[in-house]
Chain A
Amino acid sequence: MAARLTLSRFILQNFNKPIRCVQRTAPLRKYAVVAGTTEHTLAVRDRIADKRKRALLGGGQKRIEKQHQKGKLTARERIQLLVDADSFVEYDMFMEHDCTDFGMEKEKYPGDSVVTGRGKINGRLVFVFSQDFTVFGGSLSGAHAKKVCKIMDQAMLVGAPVIGLNDSGGARIQEGVQSLAGYADIFQRNVEASGVIPQISLIMGPCAGGAVYSPALTDFTFMVKDTSYLFITGPDVVKSVTNEDVTQEELGGAKTHTTVSGVAHNAFDNDVDALLQLREFYNFLPLSNKEPAPLRKCTDRWDRLVSGLDSVVPLETTSAYDIKDVVNGIVDEEDFFEVMPDYAKNIVVGFARMNGRSVGIVGNQPKVAAGCLDINASVKGARFVRFCDAFNIPIITFVDVPGFLPGTHQEYGGIIRHGAKLLYAYAEATVPKITIITRKAYGGAYDVMSSKHLRGDINYAWPTAEVAVMGAKGAVSIIFRGGKNQEQQEKEYVETFANPFPATNRGFVDDIIEPNTTRKRICQDLEILANKVLENPWKKHANMPL
């Protein structure tokens, strides 16, 4: 039923007068004098109509039903949900694969196994490709790759994002190296487009083998729970090589990638939910690196005082609180689109708006592992900061960090080089950077978290802020090594350092602000910083620690 609905809509959209003309003028054919010419023209029209019809049906009604039974929508249904009504313009509906081996020349589908084109999301341009699982299991043929490359090229040309809806069994094995070449062509474009236009992947079915690297190269990878998988090799190969027993879901399901591997940035309940949420996500992003962060009409007062924040930081400095309470209180309409909410929860990143302007939020989360920085948190934060910097999105950082997580596990894992990524990202970023130290800013982690020293534009401290090399206990054991009156010394240390003054006295923090005024201050500062001009020295590219 639903499939028919889509179809009829597309037929309406695409079948226009000339086609109806064919039917009306059909009886004429018999009497046509210049039979060859007219008949030929009309026959071509028939063929066009026929191909269009077949293209809209993808792999056929049976396969569409099968797709639905699996709880998945068709490539076209997905596009229709993603873009504004009647805004989709399709490219290459007639492109077919050119494989002649294994009898493939007898099985062709107009458009092959992907639907490509452009449309609008809330009135803003977007290029989309949507892999069609009903045609050869969505496998990637040379034609498939060409279609994808074409829209990517055009997206680059005009400066608009590309959204890929992935649902593919993998390479078109019958085409051999042709298919592999196709992947590589896409990879190359992914890399060239990186930092020029936002690229988003939504995994809505299988995505295995080499295919996984395209989503991995894009800025954001989202998944659909229960129906999507991402892995290099499936459970069978895993079993034969390593003798591990693992299910598809455990190996590469949404839960795995959003909580354990950090490959995916979020997962949604089903196809419909994923596509509708993606529309909202899209609203936060600029179209390209040449565009400013989007500004939207805002009814939430920019100078709203957030009285609840005055008591959000507990009096006991070791007690936890939820940094998301701070974020939600400050941003427009409590609307915070969190990225990677279930991975490395000791750091919170995501998009929000301040007085209508898109901003990136980064915050240590005292509720999880005391908000310390570890390998995963550093990598998560670094990638987010770099995205914001690449696309002119101001970064607001909330700091409550006791330091980097110690231990062999972290050291052996390379916390030094991974931690350096976050440091690198912040230091490199030239977008407006506003920092609020809500409580602890200890040690090297203080430097890392968008400090003044890393070109922070505006750095604030709440009255509860403490900027120091380390906590009292550790510090005292070093400063007063072997000292007898430890309690007294700790007290002295706390008096000296457990307050914002050491940082404000040196100008490392611009002001101590009442928490309730934070929103107002940030909105004002963003206004000023909108015209910030700062450029890094010319280089071919930087060599960040990977």
Chain B
Amino acid sequence: MAANFAFCSPVRSYKLSRGFGGRLLSIQTLWTRSLYTTGSLTSKDLYWNDRYNENEKQFDKILIANRGEIACRVMKTCQRLGIKTVAVHSDVDSLSVHTRMADERICIGPAPTSQSYLQMEKILDAVKLTGAQAVHPGYGFLSENTKFAAELANIGVQFIGPNSKSIFDMGDKIESKRIATKAGVNMIPGHDGVVENADHCVQLANEIGYPVMIKASAGGGGKGMRIAWSDEETRQAFRLSSQEAKSSFGDDRMLIEKFIDNPRHIEIQVLCDQHGNALWLNERECSIQRRNQKVIEEAPSTFVDPAMRKAMGDQAVQMAKAVGYDSAGTVEFLVNSKKEFFFLEMNTRLQVEHPISECITGIDIVHQMIRSAKGHKLLHKQEDIPVDGWAFECRVYAEDPYKSFGMPSIGRLSRYQEPLHIPNVRCDSGIQEGSEISIYYDPMICKLVTYGTNRIEALDTMKKALDSYVIRGVTHNIPLLRDIITEPKFVAGDITTKYLQQVYPDGFQGKKLSDQETTELVALSSALYISDEIRSRQFTNGSKLQASTDIESKWDLSVNLVNEIYKTTVEKITNGFQVHVGNSTVNIDGQMMFHSPLIETTVDGKPSQLQISKRARGGHYNLRFLGTVFPITVLNNFASEMMKLMPKKKEIDISTVVLAPMPGMLKSVSVEAGQKVGEGQEVCVLEAMKMQNSLTAAKSGVIKKVNYKTGETVSENDVIIELE
């Protein structure tokens, strides 16, 4: 049996080529050339547990009906297997990474997705034109479109994903619940109807099991909604809520269902074939979310023990079998504090966060999807699926985390450097230096995945990776990601889907530096300033340079960090600097060069990463430290004294202007110059990233000037309307 398939060996240290024939060697070459995105020093191969029969048939050419990172992700596996790839792209994507990576490329229309990536006809034409035998839809776009799958079937092309019926069934909320119930999957218990009275309520509560949620049938916004943990509380809750409902909605009909306390979002990756085989590839913890969008995922979950994992996995597989599933999919569960889990829905596609499952199981999920689509049997048994190590995924987005945990931003990546020099880091991205993050597509920059033999190791790698990740030109959410991964509750694994609101009740406001971190940053910026000063006089030509070397070796400085002034003394020592900040002495080992945005030094023996986001001259620097960008001014003591005499600049009165909070297109402008407006009156609507934002006047007054017309695009902080 073992001889049948090439990659069955559980021995991790195997390189792919070891002991195998010529064909595999060529795969090995492909692998090392195209593999990844992953740092070259990984301790083991990424897909050490992937399996297939050596001589099995495979598709010759696959079209990827998607863009960005997922298109690249699928193509990488295709390249590894020697399958030709076809990219489809919009006109603005003509030079993007996925387009250039493919063997063939077809332009399918202009930038808006409705005219390109969602144009089924054009993609079908591209399939016909290129003779692709199969289509991988990625996620989003047409990935869960049954019509698309059916159309492909009509022209004899394989859809790489589940059969249409399972997509259809799982896409229907009622039908999916019906199938799940039938398959014996845990459902959120509740009473299918109106609660008659308090006694009935208590009876139902006991049937369901505490805690329960009693809510008004007509309710909304938390009104008429109560949670009860005992019979007594149930009676009281029923009474109060029905009264409240009556007065608020004029309808006192009440419903009851299980209350999920401290809810976690945990999902199971499943893998099925067309021969009735189904496997579960462990769980993914996806509780860190904002606006129902995942931010950080990990596998496995700290909350799931082996027994629970098996129970969840078995139910997920039952579900998949019940629906006749035959590809990779995900069954989502909601989990409460008592480790009870309840079915939410099934996603019939490759998930964004699939790489973390790949990391801990060693399986190339995309490859297995392709194999299943070709009709091959899965070659793993459930016992071949390990939980090996720990993996995290941070979704690096082009968005401003200081505005409701993430408002989209756009721009050109003027500097972009993935932290791939660090071992055990994988970056799934579809962009590169010079790429444009536009308003047309998802603002995701990269899925940053780190792996370790245990959780702490993976987290430490993630810290270093985030600190070393250079992204310039667009606002990104690394400050938030970096803060979360060191936040005590997160580190302890104590998280729920309400994590962000609970940990940052007033919104994210940047990293709060501890005293020690402050000292480190102050010391680093002092050393940076001195490096800058020394370099400023290293002229190598010119006739009047006799004095160019007479620079001191000890400097007294003032560092202004977050409106606090710190006095420091810097001494140049061999290989670095010694900086005195208050009573502490900080030793910095290493050179500080300005050509690289990333400055790696050793601070008191510990490796440290500092990024120069901006060097604004005159001692002003924007330094990224522990994820957050801090504006810092370093001056000598005299200049600092003089600076105190300088008048504070008046802040622009923003109540007289309406600024664009983000880049986008003006959907409508409802006022004109000379018109009177009241405070809070809507003056224009800005459409950005498919969201419509109503912009209002901050005070009553007369419109002085309207700077943009409907249909025009604006950049962040553009003044759209001025008031008198």
Query: Given A73-B642, A276-B639, A315-B94, A269 and B617 touching (CB < 8 A)?
Result: no
CB <8 Å contact, A295 and B540: yes
A6 to B638 Cα, complex, angstroms: 8
Query: Given A124-B545, A295-B541, A299-B595, A73 and B639 touching (CB < 8 A)?
Result: no
Query: Given A124-B539, A308-B414, A311-B435, A2 and B644 touching (CB < 8 A)?
Result: yes
Closest residue to A273 on the B side, CB-wise?
B618
Q: In the complex, what's the smallest C-beta–C-beta distance from B450 to chain A, in angstroms?
A: 25
Band of interface residues on A: 35 or more
B229 at the interface (CB under 8 A from A): no
A286 at the interface (CB under 8 A from B): yes
Report B424-459 CB contacts with A as 1/0, cut-off 8 Å.
000000001111100000000000000000000000
CB <8 Å contact, A280 and B645: no
Chain B residues with Cβ under 8 A from A483's Cβ? Answer: none
A61 at the interface (CB under 8 A from B): no
Query: Given A122-B537, A297-B540, A315 and B642 touching (CB < 8 A)?
Result: no
CB <8 Å contact, B413 and A81: no
Number of B interface residues, CB 8 Å? 49
Closest 10 CB pairs of A and B: A308-B434, A300-B595, A71-B647, A308-B433, A276-B618, A297-B538, A123-B548, A122-B537, A270-B646, A311-B434
* CB-CB contacts below 8 Å: B66-108 with A: 91-92, 94-95
Interface residues in chain A, defined as those with a beta carbon under 8 Å from any beta carbon in chain B: 1-2, 5-6, 9, 68, 71, 73, 77, 80-81, 85, 120, 122-125, 160, 225-226, 268-273, 276-277, 279-280, 283, 286-287, 291-292, 294-301, 307-312, 315-316, 322, 325, 328-329, 332-335, 337, 356
Q: In the complex, what's the smallest C-beta–C-beta distance from A51 to chain B, in angstroms?
A: 25
Chain A residues with Cβ under 8 A from B554's Cβ? Answer: none
CB <8 Å contact, B539 and A295: yes
B57 at the interface (CB under 8 A from A): no
B381 at the interface (CB under 8 A from A): no
A269 to B643 Cα, complex, angstroms: 11
* 10 extra interface residue pairs, beta carbon distance < 8 Å, beyond A269-B646, A322-B412, A335-B594: A2-B641, A276-B618, A294-B541, A295-B539, A295-B540, A299-B594, A309-B434, A311-B434, A315-B94, A315-B95
Query: Given A283-B536, A335-B615, A356-B540, A123 and B643 touching (CB < 8 A)?
Result: no
Closest residue to B544 on the A side, CB-wise?
A125
Chain B residues with Cβ under 8 A from A333's Cβ? Answer: 594-595, 615
B506 at the interface (CB under 8 A from A): no
B593 at the interface (CB under 8 A from A): yes
CB <8 Å contact, A296 and B538: yes
A264 to B433 Cα, complex, angstroms: 35
Which of A1, A2, A308 contacts B416, CB < 8 Å?
Answer: A308
Chain A residues with Cβ under 8 A from B619's Cβ? Answer: 276
CB <8 Å contact, A292 and B542: yes
Report B613-655 CB contacts with A as 1/0, cut-off 8 Å.
0010111000000000000000110110111111101000000
Chain A residues with Cβ under 8 A from B436's Cβ? Answer: 311
A68 to B645 Cα, complex, angstroms: 6
A433 to B642 Cα, complex, angstroms: 42
B574 at the interface (CB under 8 A from A): no
Chain A residues with Cβ under 8 A from B413's Cβ? Answer: 308
Q: In the complex, what's the smallest C-beta–C-beta distance from A356 to chain B, in angstroms?
A: 7
A85 to B550 Cα, complex, angstroms: 11
Q: Would you give 26 A-B contacts (Cβ < 8 Å), ordered by A?
A: A9-B638, A71-B645, A73-B645, A81-B638, A123-B539, A123-B548, A124-B537, A226-B647, A271-B646, A272-B618, A272-B635, A272-B642, A272-B646, A280-B536, A283-B536, A286-B542, A287-B543, A291-B542, A294-B539, A295-B542, A297-B538, A297-B539, A311-B95, A315-B91, A315-B94, A333-B615
With a 10 A CB-CB cut-off, give which of B416, B434, B644 has the most chain A CB atoms.
Answer: B434
Closest residue to A357 on the B side, CB-wise?
B541
A312 to B434 Cα, complex, angstroms: 6
The secondary structure that dominates the B interface is: loop
Q: In the complex, what's the smallest C-beta–C-beta distance from B91 to chain A, in angstroms?
A: 7
Chain A residues with Cβ under 8 A from B643's Cβ? Answer: 270, 272
B547 at the interface (CB under 8 A from A): yes
Chain B residues with Cβ under 8 A from A300's Cβ? Answer: 594-595
B223 at the interface (CB under 8 A from A): no
Q: In the complex, what's the smallest C-beta–C-beta distance from B635 to chain A, in angstroms?
A: 8
A468 to B94 Cα, complex, angstroms: 26
Chain B residues with Cβ under 8 A from A286's Cβ? Answer: 542
CB <8 Å contact, B617 and A328: no
A451 to B649 Cα, complex, angstroms: 45
CB <8 Å contact, B646 and A71: yes
CB <8 Å contact, A294 and B435: no
Q: In the complex, what's the smallest C-beta–C-beta distance from A545 to chain B, in angstroms?
A: 34
CB <8 Å contact, B542 and A277: no
Which of B92, B435, B551, B641 contacts A5, CB < 8 Å?
Answer: B641
B191 at the interface (CB under 8 A from A): no
A125 to B646 Cα, complex, angstroms: 28
A452 to B720 Cα, complex, angstroms: 44
Report B159-183 CB contacts with A as 1/0, cut-off 8 Å.
0000000000000000000000000
Chain B residues with Cβ under 8 A from A332's Cβ? Answer: 595
A356 to B413 Cα, complex, angstroms: 25
Chain B residues with Cβ under 8 A from A291's Cβ? Answer: 542-543
CB <8 Å contact, B639 and A269: no
Q: In the complex, what's the smallest C-beta–C-beta distance from B105 to chain A, in angstroms?
A: 13
B239 at the interface (CB under 8 A from A): no
B535 at the interface (CB under 8 A from A): yes
Chain A residues with Cβ under 8 A from B147's Cβ? Answer: none
B415 at the interface (CB under 8 A from A): yes
Which of B540, B549, B642, B645 contacts A296, CB < 8 Å?
Answer: B540
Closest residue to B533 on the A side, CB-wise?
A122
CB <8 Å contact, B595 and A122: no
Chain A residues with Cβ under 8 A from B540's Cβ? Answer: 295-297, 356
A226 to B644 Cα, complex, angstroms: 17
CB <8 Å contact, B618 and A297: no
Query: Given A299-B595, A300-B595, A123 and B547 touching (CB < 8 A)?
Result: yes
Q: In the complex, what's the smallest C-beta–C-beta distance from B46 to chain A, in angstroms?
A: 25
Q: In the complex, what's the smallest C-beta–C-beta distance from B161 to chain A, in angstroms?
A: 32
CB <8 Å contact, A123 and B433: no
Chain A residues with Cβ under 8 A from B544's Cβ? Answer: 124-125, 160, 287
Q: In the complex, what's the smallest C-beta–C-beta distance from B517 to chain A, in angstroms?
A: 27
CB <8 Å contact, A280 and B434: no
Chain B residues with Cβ under 8 A from A271's Cβ? Answer: 642, 646
Closest residue to A274 on the B side, CB-wise?
B618
Closest residue to B538 on the A side, CB-wise?
A297
A322 to B311 Cα, complex, angstroms: 57
CB <8 Å contact, A2 and B618: no
Chain B residues with Cβ under 8 A from A301's Cβ? Answer: 595
A225 to B650 Cα, complex, angstroms: 12
Q: In the complex, what's the smallest C-beta–C-beta distance from A213 to chain B, in angstroms?
A: 29
Chain A residues with Cβ under 8 A from B549's Cβ? Answer: 123
Chain B residues with Cβ under 8 A from A68's Cβ? Answer: 645
Closest residue to A281 on the B side, CB-wise?
B617
A123 to B618 Cα, complex, angstroms: 17
Q: In the complex, what's the smallest C-beta–C-beta distance from B511 to chain A, in angstroms?
A: 25
Report B573-602 CB contacts with A as 1/0, cut-off 8 Å.
000000000000000000001110000000
A454 to B315 Cα, complex, angstroms: 78
Closest residue to B640 on the A side, CB-wise?
A272
Closest residue to A225 on the B side, CB-wise?
B649
Chain B residues with Cβ under 8 A from A307's Cβ? Answer: 432-434
Query: Given A125-B544, A270-B647, A311-B95, A2 and B434 touching (CB < 8 A)?
Result: no
A272 to B646 Cα, complex, angstroms: 8
A102 to B132 Cα, complex, angstroms: 99
Query: Given A272-B646, A280-B536, A292 and B541 touching (CB < 8 A)?
Result: yes
Which of A160, A328, A337 contacts B414, CB < 8 Å?
Answer: A328
CB <8 Å contact, A2 and B595: no
With a 10 A CB-CB cut-off, give which of A273, A280, A291 has the most chain B CB atoms.
Answer: A273
A68 to B94 Cα, complex, angstroms: 58
Chain B residues with Cβ under 8 A from A272's Cβ? Answer: 618, 635, 639, 642-643, 646
A80 to B618 Cα, complex, angstroms: 15
